[in-house]
C-alpha cells in the first residue's frame, strides 16, 4: 500500500517496559501504540497507521506529506 510511506518510530521505554510506536509525520499524540516485543510493536504500528489513515480519510482531512530522505 503506497499510503504506508510514513515514518514509524519504535523506541524501547524502560518506564513502560515495552516498545512505543509513533508516527512523526502525523501531528498530535507522540506515541500511538506499543508492543511487548519488537515484532508486535511493528505489527501494531502498521495496524495503527492504517487506522490513522482511514480516520483522516473518513473526516475528509488531507494526509500529511511523508518525510522523505534524499540520498546525495
Does residue 66 form part of some domain? Answer: no
Does residue 71 form part of some domain? Answer: no
CA angle 19, 32, 42 (to 5 degrees): 45
The whole-number pLDDT of residue 27 equals 84
Q: How many CB atoms lie within 10 A of CB 7?
A: 14
- Cα 60 to its chain centre, rounded Å, is 20
Q: Which band of pLDDT confidence, cut at 50, 70 and 90, is reported for residue 2?
A: low
pLDDT, tens digit, 9 for 90 and up, residues 25-52: 998 878 899 999 999 999 999 999 999 9
Based on the structure, what is the number of domains in the chain? Answer: 1
Model's pTM, two decimal places? 0.85
Amino acid at each position: 500500500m503506497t499510503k504506508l510511506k510514513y515514518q514509524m518510530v519504535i523506541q524501547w521505554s524502560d518506564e513502560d517496559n515495552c516498545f512505543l510506536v509513533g508516527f512523526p509525520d502525523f501531528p498530535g499524540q507522540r506515541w500511538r501504540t506499543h508492543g511487548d516485543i519488537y515484532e508486535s510493536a511493528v505489527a501494531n504500528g502498521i495496524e495503527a497507521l492504517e487506522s490513522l489513515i482511514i480516520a483522516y480519510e473518513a473526516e475528509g482531512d488531507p494526509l500529511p506529506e511523508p518525510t522523505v530522505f534524499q540520498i546525495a
